[in-house]
Structure 1
Amino acid sequence: MSVRAVRGAIQVEANERDEILQGTSELVAEVLHRNRIDPDDLISIVFTATPDLTAEFPAYAARQMGLTDVPLLCTTEIAVPGSMPRVLRLMAHVETPLTRADIRHVYLRGAAALRTDLPQ
Structure 2
Amino acid sequence: MIRGIRGATTVSSDCEDLVIDAAEELLQKMIDTNGIEATNVASVFISVTSDIHSTFPSKALRRFPDWKFVPVMCLQEIPVINSLPLCIRVMLHINTSKPQHLLKHVYLNNATILRPDLDVV
TM tier, shorter chain?
over 0.9
1:42-93 Cα shifts (integer Å, max 9, x gaps): 1100000000001110111112222210000001001111111000001110
Partner of 2:68: 68
Cα separation, 2, equivalents of 1:35 and 1:98? 10
Alignment of 1:77-116 (within 5 A): 77-116=77-116
SS at match of 1:21: helix
5+ residue gaps, structure 1, are none
Q: CA deviation at 1:116?
A: 1.0
Cα separation, 2, equivalents of 1:9 and 1:97? 24
Cα separation, 2, equivalents of 1:21 and 1:59? 8
Percent of matched pairs sharing the same residue: 32
Instruction: State the AA in 1 paired with 2:79.
Output: A
Partner of 1:11: 10
Q: CA deviation at 1:113?
A: 0.5
Alpha carbon RMSD of aligned pairs, Å? Answer: 1.0
Instruction: State the AA in 2 paired with 1:48.
Output: S
User: Structure 2 length as normaliser, TM-score?
Assistant: 0.94
Cα separation, 1, equivalents of 2:80 and 2:48? 13
SS at match of 1:115: coil
Instruction: State the AA in 1 paired with 2:71.
Output: P
Partner of 1:55: 54
Partner of 2:19: 20
SS at match of 2:52: coil
